[in-house]
Amino acid sequence: MSFRIERSHIIFKHLIHVGPEVDAEAVADIAARRDYTKQTRQLPTPRGPLKEYLFRPKTNPQSLMVFSSKGFVIDAQPSDNVLPLFRDAYDFYEKVMGDNAMTATVLMDINCKFEVFSPVPVKDFVQKLYVSDSEKLSFSGKDLRPHGITLATGSMKFPDEFIQLNVQPLPKDPERRLIVVSIYRSTELDDALKFIEKIEGNIVKTLEKIAKV
């Protein structure tokens, strides 16, 4: 028996950090000719209302793409729906932006959440990377115990690539299941897409390595 991903949810933000804005109304015209339903909403921002267009694929209404003048966001579950939606969204983006797509500096911000079945007791697993002395720590007179694992690489400073992985017991089943949250930031589109392509396999491999410590 091994670690098994049971549920997944990914939010992939492709937002313009510096450069020209997206004509979201033009995107809506293109998306209307594809297999998407459309809604709009207004979000308050310090610079005034921001109009967003929400497109849902008719075959998977749980997932959606959101366009605004700032770029687009993919909100998909399960995770294998991210890349098909991204391909459509990026096609819309390139068609509308034209040559301006090459001049924009874009920040990719990816937030991933996975519910994972653990073949080992969760309590034992989350203590794997802690030394025995950690059980003697206290704060404000209360004993502290390891409740999760956080691993990271990168500086979190723009434009450096940054990855963070946080593993905790799943509140609905804290004895046998884990909640794994991963954050990824980069300005390199190819790197971001490779991260998404391999995310599930890398999650399982990392958990297996921790279990063997």
Question: What pLDDT was estimated at residue 132?
Answer: 58
Residue 133 has pLDDT above 80, yes or no: no
Q: Give the global pTM.
A: 0.91
- Condensed to tens digits (0 to 9), the pLDDT of residues 39-68 reads 999 998 888 899 999 999 888 888 999 999
Residue 134 has pLDDT above 70, yes or no: no
Confidence of residue 145 (pLDDT cuts 50, 70, 90): confident
Question: What pLDDT was estimated at residue 107?
Answer: 96
Question: What pLDDT was estimated at residue 144?
Answer: 73
Q: What 3 state SS string does the chain have?
A: CCCEEEEEEEEEEEEEEECCCCCHHHHHHHHHCCCEEEEEEEECCCCCCEEEEEEEECCCCCCEEEEECCEEEEEECCHHHHHHHHHHHHHHHHHHHHHHHHCCEEEEEEEEEEEEECCCCHHHHHCCCCCHHHHHCEECCEECCCCCEEEEECCCCCCCCEEEEEEEECCCCCCCEEEEEEEEEECCHHHHHHHHHHHHHHHHHHHHHHHCC
Question: What pLDDT was estimated at residue 51?
Answer: 95
Residue 114 has pLDDT above 90, yes or no: yes
Confidence of residue 79 (pLDDT cuts 50, 70, 90): very high
